[in-house]
Amino acid sequence: MITWANFGSQLFNGLALGALLALIASGLTIIYGTLGVLNLAHGAMFMLGGYAGYLAWQSSGSFLLGVAAGTLALGVLGIVMERLVIRYFYARPHEDQLLVTFGLAIVFVELVRWYFSSDSKTVQAPALLQGITNMGFMFYPTYRLAVVGICAVALLVLFLVLYRTRLGMIVRAGIEDSVMVDSLGINIDRVFMVVFGIGAMAAGFAGFINAPIVSLAPEIGEQILVQTFVVVVIGGVGSFPGAVLGGLIAGEIISLTSMVNPGYAYVMLFAAMTLVLMIRPRGLLGAKGRE
């Protein structure tokens, strides 16, 4: 149904969808760029962040505590994962990395299913952000509006860490050439651990922020993982700005296609990814040699 009113609404909705995708994808892309590990457990970690936050939110009633718990718990989990499992796989073939992270994802999902059951869990948005906002051209759920802002702030924080701190400089240098960084006398091993922790925190944060929108279920990670991969591929593997751009493009493709025919929304997303892979295999903002 193509009208100007609907076009404007879908354009905005695409932005909101894209902001969240960008946030999740940024964690995935930083980890891959720096460590060279394609983390197939990223979706499951997104889901775990939601459940960790849910536990804290449910026992305290505080949404902010939920956000903190989801983020910190996943930061800790990320570091533990990296120390116990992931670091032994840096030197091994990509297939091994895929298998081990995929295996971890299955373990996480089944643990959650065992502890929380398959039924979905609902998280209420904070009272202040419940209800609907009249934006003039459309009505939009207040919480989703806030999520756009929250994601923007979170992405900004990530940007500052990556581009305005010494750690960020090392990480970015590591993305370009980790052997060189190591030979410059920087403890790349510890940097890797921190990067994995940061990536996990981004996933955990997004996981809880997303919970009031779609509610929690053990499977939510699987779906988001596929979309996140598309975002990373479109934006360019290992590129933080690429993840943001890719997220927004993916959000707009889903929204605007659905205006014409909702059945094709995801088809178009994958068509776009194929197109990017054919014309520019390293992604829109990916640097050469990184993939």
Which positions touch other proteins (CB under 8 A)?
1, 3, 5-6, 9-10, 13-14, 16-17, 110, 113, 118-120, 122, 132, 138-141, 143-144, 213-215, 217-220, 223, 254-255, 258-259, 262-263, 265-266
CB of 130 to other proteins, least distance (A): 9
**Among 75, 23, 47, which Cα is nearest to 193's?**
75
When the beta carbons of 104 and 171 are compared against other proteins, the nearer one is 104
User: What is d(CA 90, CA 12) in angstroms, rounded to the nearest whole number?
Assistant: 40
CB of 5 to other proteins, least distance (A): 5
Residues 6+ apart with CB under 8 A from 201: 27, 71, 72, 74, 75, 78
CB of 22 to other proteins, least distance (A): 15
User: What is d(CA 147, CA 258) in angstroms, rounded to the nearest whole number?
Assistant: 21
User: What is d(CA 282, CA 169) in angstroms, rounded to the nearest whole number?
Assistant: 22
When the beta carbons of 176 and 219 are compared against other proteins, the nearer one is 219
User: What is d(CA 280, CA 30) in angstroms, rounded to the nearest whole number?
Assistant: 20
Tokens representing residue 259 in the block: 């205006």
User: What is d(CA 94, CA 98) in angstroms, rounded to the nearest whole number?
Assistant: 6
Q: What are the DSSP E strand ranges found in the chain? A: 132-134, 139-141
When the beta carbons of 2 and 279 are compared against other proteins, the nearer one is 2
CB of 124 to other proteins, least distance (A): 11
Beta bridge partners of 74: none
CB of 262 to other proteins, least distance (A): 5
CB of 224 to other proteins, least distance (A): 8
CB of 7 to other proteins, least distance (A): 9
**Max Cα distance, the chain (Å):** 60
When the beta carbons of 193 and 259 are compared against other proteins, the nearer one is 259
When the beta carbons of 85 and 142 are compared against other proteins, the nearer one is 142
When the beta carbons of 82 and 252 are compared against other proteins, the nearer one is 252
Query: DSSP string covering 10-42, please?
Result: HHHHHHHHHHHHHHHHHHHHHHHHHH----TTH
**What sign for the dihedral angle of Cα 201, 150, 284, 168?**
negative
When the beta carbons of 145 and 186 are compared against other proteins, the nearer one is 145
